[in-house]
Amino acid sequence: MAQFTVTGDVDPFLHISLLQGEKIYCESNAMVMMESTLELKGKMTGGIGSALMRRFANGESFFQQHIEAIKGAGDCLLSPTLPGAIQVLDVGTISYKITDGAFVAAESGVSLNVRSQSLSTAMFGQTGGFFICEASGVGKLAVSGFGSSFVLDVEPGKDIIIDNAHVVAWDSSLHHEISVATQQASGLLGQLVNSVTSGEGMVLKFSGRGKVVICSRNRENFIAWMLKGMPGGN
C-alpha cells in the first residue's frame, strides 16, 4: 500500500511514497513535486455525472489529478487547498463523510460517492448541501481543515456537540443532527433568530460510536477575515 506521511507543523505537505504500479488521486492542483518515475494525469473520476455531483456536493474541481508509479517506485508531495493540518484516515470497515473542500488525496482503492442528506441538515449544516461526499472502499484517505486538527471518539451514551464550521469528516455510521447552539428560545425560528443575534452558530450533534475529525479554525470566519485583508475589503 502507498505510504502517506504528513510532514511539517504549519501548513504541512502530504508526502506519499508509491511502489511501482501503485496509484493515488488527489484534488486538482494539489501536486507540488513528484519524482520522474511517476506519471500525472487529469481525469474525471467516475465519468461526467459523478464529477458534476462531487463538484456540487464537496466543492471539488471538475477534474482530479491521478498519480501513478509507471516507471518504478517514487515519491510525491501534495499541498491541500485549505491552509491547515492534514489528517490521514484508514478507510475499510469504516467509511467517512467529508465536508466541503476537505478532500486532499486517496489511494485508488477508495471511492468518493455522493450521498443525499436530510432537508434540515442540507439547509443549515453547511456540510455539503443536499448532497455530501462519502469515502468508502479500502485504502488511505487524507483530509484537511483550517488550523490544527484533532480526532474525537464518540461513544454510546456520550454524545458530542461540535460547532458546524469546525467539522472536517466523520464516521459514516455515526448519527448526526443539526441544531443551534442557543436553545432558550422556543421553536426553530426563535432559536435561529437568537443564534444570529447572540453570535452563536449552528452545531452538529453526533451519537453512536465512531470518530469525528475537527479543526481549530472556523472556516467562515477565516474566509471573512481573508476578504477583509484584500483591497477593497471592509
d(CA 81, CA 29): 8
Domains within the chain, CATH numbers bracketed: 3-228 (3.60.160.10)
Range list of β-strands (E), the chain: 3-7, 13-18, 23-26, 31-34, 38-43, 64-69, 74-78, 86-91, 96-98, 103-107, 110-116, 131-137, 139-144, 149-154, 160-163, 167-171, 175-180, 202-207, 210-215
pLDDT of residue 71: 95
| Residue in this structure with the C-alpha cell 488511505, named with its chain if needed | 140
Per-residue pLDDT reduced to its tens digit, 106-154: 999 999 887 765 544 444 444 444 467 889 999 999 999 888 899 999 9
Low-confidence ranges of the chain (pLDDT < 50): 119-130, 185, 188-199
Take residue 198 and report the three cell numbers written for it: 447572540
